[in-house]
Structure 1
Amino acid sequence: MPVSYVVFTDLDGTLLDDAYSFAPALQSLSQIREASIPLVICSSKTRKEIEYYRGKLENHDPFVSENGGGVFVPTGYFGFRVVDFEFAEEPGADVVHQTVFGADVEYEAICLGVPYPKLRDALATLRRNGCRVRGFGDMSVQEIAGETGLPLDQARMAKERDFDEPFLIEGSKNEREQIFRAVREMGLQVSRGRRFYHLTGSNDKGRAVKILSDLFRATAGNPIVTIGLGGDPNDLSMLQTVDHAIMVQKPDSGYDPALLSQGGFIKADGPGPVGWNKAILGLLRGEM
């Protein structure tokens, strides 16, 4: 029986290179668009940042923001109201369903993350206890642009957060461990991305991917096979959830140790979008 693919992908360092370009992946992006394969962005970026790249990619599929904090489904995408869907495993009592209006699209949003003000309060508590941490909420747009290399308009989008606080730690490994322990005691968690640590609730990319995979399977005429592409530790839960997990190389041609240690992940032949392109072309040739 034929299968239908769904591709879940991180952005920074995966589909996007260090210059925030997906140009090296244009060939495979064109082919999955022609094959009507859903491309679901699953990123630590904010909703507005992802909408910006969805526009550039001409992408109209659901997406996941802020490390699994929010799942956004264009209204009517699956042909039924997501809030009425009976999941095989309920997303959890902490989940909030709401309607969100984007620039040109209305979404059904599944909110899995802790509201941003609570994360800012937690970071302030850490600082009062002597921890040297600095989050996006403490930085100006210009400072975020300087730390990330983003243009000012995109840095402004990156600052408008809902479920995830990227932050920097100044201090030793022992101080980092103390911070991580204090965060856990507050009922929150820390994950590591490409440039920053990320303070979140119990959400992660894997939980969001499972929700969307269930929705895709409910509407597909063929069996669904899920593909995940990522390259950083905060992609781990996503890669553990999909049927075929692909890790892309770092710019130095190495792979992230946290992902390598898992075993069983497919190694893309190339950094970021170069490896992404080769892996997806291989998928389309039936090599997976």
Structure 2
Amino acid sequence: MRHIVYSDLDGTLLNEDYSYKDAKPAINFLLSSKIPLILCTSKTRAEIEVYREKLGVTDPFISENGGAIFIPRDYFTFDYDHDRSVEGYNVIELGEEYADLCGELKDIRKETGYKIIGFSDMTAEEIAKDCGLSLRDAELSKKREYDEAFTILGTKGQIDEVFRSIESRGLNYTVGGRYSHIMGNSDKGKAVDILTELYKREKRGSEIKTVGLGDSLNDLPMLKVVDISIVVKKPDGLHDPEIDLPNLIRIDGVGPVGWNKAINELFRRKIW
């Protein structure tokens, strides 16, 4: 049997300080066991590439909430459909163009009169201060291609109205820890399904079992389509109450601490 691990970054593999130190033993285990670790996150390609290098991961990754799948060239031994090739990757694009999404968000802001602030409206310095990022990391977060991160300064009713307006345009949104995201007809789950099918083609004749680790509601599409769904605790010591799936595993541990424990129990102790 072959396992594939799909993981969110912020709040899951990374803690509030963007550290993965507590998950390093489990990461090293996956690498040494040649178990693919697919980073599936709201982060941009530029941001993910930094973490892939730090972690030593060479597997494909999913950027911007399922906006695109980046597959290293020659990773699979067969040809497959993809939309473009760039900087050593074959790219399967599922999301809308960033400029179009920013335009839609500006139209909604104009129509409603609400204070909607997107990353495209902010400087790298402002993003760094608000998110606790270094200036360099904030600059990487602005290199968006398939979704726009935004916040709404308003009441719950106003926020819900903005979300309804996004849906009325045939677009999707997801609510993250610090920012919401507007995107096209894409999500983490659709990207995971496509990539898993490629692995099944590559390992024809072998059973594939997928594992998904997340912490918040924007991970739900991913958690719905994997075989083993795991959520880690948030910094307040609780699991996200909005994530509720049959056979969901709620691991006892915050962020990377829970991540490390989950991988250890799954592969070493073989609890599930």
TM-score w.r.t. the length of structure 1 is: 0.92
Residue of 52, 61, 64 corresponding to 2:59: 61
Q: List structure 1 segments (4+ residues) > 3 angstroms apart after TM superposition.
A: none
- Partners of 2:197 and 2:129 lie apart in 1 by 39
Residue 241 of structure 2 corresponds to which residue in structure 1? 257
The answer to whether the 8 A contact 1:210-1:241 is kept is yes
The answer to whether the 8 A contact 1:9-1:15 is kept is yes
- Partners of 1:217 and 1:204 lie apart in 2 by 21
Q: Extract unaligned runs of 5+ from structure 2.
A: none
Residue type of the alignment partner of 1:30:
N
- Partners of 1:173 and 1:255 lie apart in 2 by 22
Residue type of the alignment partner of 1:116:
Y
> 1:263 Cα shift?
4.3
Residue 86 of structure 1 corresponds to which residue in structure 2? none
> 1:82 Cα shift?
2.2
Alignment of structure 1 residues 263-278 onto 2, 5 Å: 263-278=246-261
Q: Extract unaligned runs of 5+ from structure 1.
A: 84-95
> 1:123 Cα shift?
1.1
Residue 188 of structure 1 corresponds to which residue in structure 2? 171
Alignment of structure 1 residues 171-182 onto 2, 5 Å: 171-182=154-165
2:182 counterpart SS class: strand
Residue of 224, 247, 254 corresponding to 1:240: 224
- Partners of 1:180 and 1:264 lie apart in 2 by 30
Residue type of the alignment partner of 1:67:
N
Residue 48 of structure 2 corresponds to which residue in structure 1? 50
1:258 counterpart SS class: coil
Residue type of the alignment partner of 1:97:
D
- Partners of 2:130 and 2:197 lie apart in 1 by 37
The answer to whether the 8 A contact 1:164-1:199 is kept is yes
- Partners of 2:234 and 2:80 lie apart in 1 by 37
> 1:283 Cα shift?
1.1
Alignment of structure 1 residues 1-288 onto 2, 5 Å: 3-83=1-81, 97-101=83-87, 106-129=88-111, 130-220=113-203, 222-259=206-243, 261-285=244-268, 286-288=270-272
- Partners of 2:3 and 2:247 lie apart in 1 by 20
- Partners of 1:202 and 1:131 lie apart in 2 by 24
> 1:131 Cα shift?
2.2
Residue type of the alignment partner of 2:263:
I
The answer to whether the 8 A contact 2:66-2:187 is kept is yes
2:242 counterpart SS class: helix
Residue type of the alignment partner of 1:77:
Y
Residue type of the alignment partner of 1:163:
Y
- Partners of 2:271 and 2:158 lie apart in 1 by 46
TM-score w.r.t. the length of structure 2 is: 0.97
Q: Deviations over 1:171-207 (max 9, x none)?
A: 1111011111111111112111111111001100000
Q: In percent, how many aligned pairs have the same letter?
A: 44
Aligned length: 269
Residue type of the alignment partner of 1:61:
D
The answer to whether the 8 A contact 1:270-1:276 is kept is yes
